[in-house]
Structure 1
Amino acid sequence: MTINYTQCLRCDRPLTSTKSMATGYGPTCARKIRNSAVDLTDYQAHQVTSARELIEDGAIIPLRSTVFLTVSTDGTELHRTAPTGCNCKAGLKGSRCYHQLAARMLLAA
């Protein structure tokens, strides 16, 4: 199932391009997210890649100011994620997951 967004998930402006509607972010917000300064030292390379893919796929949706709804890698589960925690398996064990990194990237933009 593909979701087509009509408003940017970051700034709430109307989206006009097909790509923006698919990802949920306009070109300016997408660029700010890509260029956001986030400390990546605690994350492995595959986590950074997964976090960027999560954002590009529009699979992380803001619920409240610092809480997001994220989709699992296989698309079968939804997780509540904040920059400091997540209810995915890794997050419940106290590990830092790529969902948390994606939330940090969005908030830093």
Structure 2
Amino acid sequence: MNTAATTHTHCLRCGRTLHTAKSQAAGYGPTCARHIRRAAVPLADYKPHQIASARELIEDGAIIPLRSVVFIAVSTDGTETYKTAPNACTCKAGLKGTRCYHQLAARMLLAA
């Protein structure tokens, strides 16, 4: 198990250079961190493991923009990709009409 702290030189949300040690440790600049916190407020519809998975998806860079509100997200095991947006996803859960962590990650990234 690796216990070393991970530091980032660029924001995981917008790609800008991170200057402070606090931002580098968090992986987000102050503005992007604020946007993510605001998006995370209405989380009542999501389970704790979905919230953790959405944050991990963003931190791993496993969700990338395709269009203005559409993203490509990688599956948990890395074998599949899904088109996702804040209100829809092509994963199994999304196709059933259930909210998935891919949608939550898209909401977090688009929060303004």
- State the TM-score, normalizing by the size of structure 1: 0.73
After superposing on structure 2, the runs of 4+ consecutive aligned residues of structure 1 that deviate more than 3 Å are 7-13, 25-30
Shift of residue 28, structure 1, vs aligned partner: 4.9
Q: Max radius of gyration: which structure?
A: 2
Percent of residue pairs identical = 65
SS in 2 for 1:49: helix
Unaligned 5+ runs, structure 2 = 1-9, 19-26
Shift of residue 98, structure 1, vs aligned partner: 0.2
- Residues 6-38 of structure 1 show CA distances to partners (whole Å, capped at 9, x for unaligned) of x8675464x58xxxxxxxx76456534542333
Contact 1:11–1:29 (8 Å) recurs in 2: no
Residue 59 in 1 paired to residue 62 in 2?
yes
- State the TM-score, normalizing by the size of structure 2: 0.71
Residue 87 in 1 paired to residue 90 in 2?
yes
Contact 2:85–2:106 (8 Å) recurs in 1: yes
1:69 aligns with one of 69, 72, 75? 72
Partner of 1:31: 33
- Residues 53-73 of structure 1 show CA distances to partners (whole Å, capped at 9, x for unaligned) of 000000000011100000000
Deviates more, 1:32-41 or 1:92-101: 32-41
Partners in 2 of 1:69 and 1:99 — Cα distance? Answer: 9
Aligned residues: 97
Unaligned 5+ runs, structure 1 = 1-6, 17-24
Shift of residue 88, structure 1, vs aligned partner: 0.2
